[in-house]
Amino acid sequence: MEQQKRTEIATLGEFGLIRRLTADIPLKNASSLKGVGDDAAVLNYGDKRVLVTTDLLLEGIHFDLTYVPLKHLGYKSAVVNFSDIYAMNGRPCQITVSLGVSKRFSVEDIEELYAGIRLACEIYGVDLVGGDTSASMTGLTISITCMGEAEADKIAYRNGARENDLICVSGDLGAAYMGLQLLEREKAVFAGESDFTPAFEGREYLLERQLKPEARKDIVAALAERNIVPTAMMDISDGLSSELLHICTQSNVGCRIYEDRIPIDYQTAVMAEEFNMSLVTAALNGGEDYELLFTVPLTLHDEVAAIPGVRVIGHITAPSLGCYMLTRDDTEIALRAQGWNSLAEETADEKNEE
């Protein structure tokens, strides 16, 4: 047989593969308003729009049960889906949960996982309405689909940013990544030991940001109270640089952000210094912060700046000006999408060591 051309997935990366597989897929149903390419699909089934998103988590790729408690894992698995719905300026309403489970897990283990999922649903007011369970040969696989709702004129897509819009972020950045580095360090230090006490004192915030993140329901509510609809919005799962470049690409604009405006927690700064890491790199590329990145018109500066937990970090420019960060010494550095790519050639362990 004639040998067919073979393209390694790693040469495309996660987003390149998605673009190649989903390019030019026609939407045949009038109810399908928005398909692949945003934080959630948008369906029209009446007065409100239905939002649908899904996430797949694989043991050894997305989580390490050496240091991730099953209840925390369940909670995080649900919350990251809620975050995608909030990133569309919507409200999560229902989830389905599908699991692939190997023989190494007991009934009690899965109950603990579900305890975390149910806690997240209780806190965020979301119903668990179905799912599936199957045997697995490779450990634990978690797939959660979340359905939400939004008013048609309130949905925030990625492609609406316009010149002179303000670029805003909620919370602080880089803490989840530094929490991961801390967990990986302690895992390596005590490898093979069954009885040990990791050095986590004073680093609780970093661990919580990595193991038990929260979706920014409060920010969406604060925007609604002020009748602010972002021109574009995403949640920060793969790193600020990556997400901002998504918005700029889909909106056909450029951007300028300022290093001294990027919000960073004190524990993050201390941990980065301890690891001899670039603090701004952790903030730009670390990922898993699940904060909201959004743009609003310049005229709303005072209103959006008054929202607790929101920081204006830059502005949208003409596309010809590119996407750059202005450093503390007034040097322009081009933004690059260096967030985590699960389909790159490196292994999960290599990623964690970066």
Domains of the chain: 31-154 (3.30.1330.10), 166-353 (3.90.650.10)
Write down the pTM of the prediction. 0.85
Closest CA to 127 of 145, 112, 142: 145
Q: Could you count the other beta carbons within 10 Å of the beta carbon of residue 47?
A: 8
Q: What crossing angle do the helices spanning 204-211 and 175-189 adopt, rounded to 10°? A: 100
pLDDT averages per 10-residue partition of the chain, 354 residues: 66 64 66 66 81 92 93 97 97 91 91 94 92 88 94 94 98 97 89 71 94 98 98 96 96 98 96 94 94 98 97 98 96 82 44 36
Q: Which two tokens stand for residue 59?
A: 């043991």
Q: What is the 3-state secondary structure (H, E, C) of the chain?
A: CCCCCCCCHHHCHHHHHHHHHHCCCCCCCCCEEECCCCCCEEEECCCEEEEEEEEEEEECCCECCCCCCHHHHHHHHHHHHHHHHHCCCCEEEEEEEEEEECCCCCHHHHHHHHHHHHHHHHHHCCEEEEEEEEECCCCCEEEEEEEEEEEHHHCCCCCCCCCCCEEEEECCCCHHHHHHHHHHHHHHHCCCCCCCCCCCCCCHHHHHHHHCCCCCHHHHHHHHHCCCCCCEEEECCCCHHHHHHHHHHHHCCEEEEEHHHCCCCHHHHHHHHHCCCCHHHHHHHCCCCCCEEEEECHHHHHHHHCCCCEEEEEEEECHHHCEEEECCCCCEEECCCCCCCCCCCCCHHHHHHC
pLDDT at 30: 66
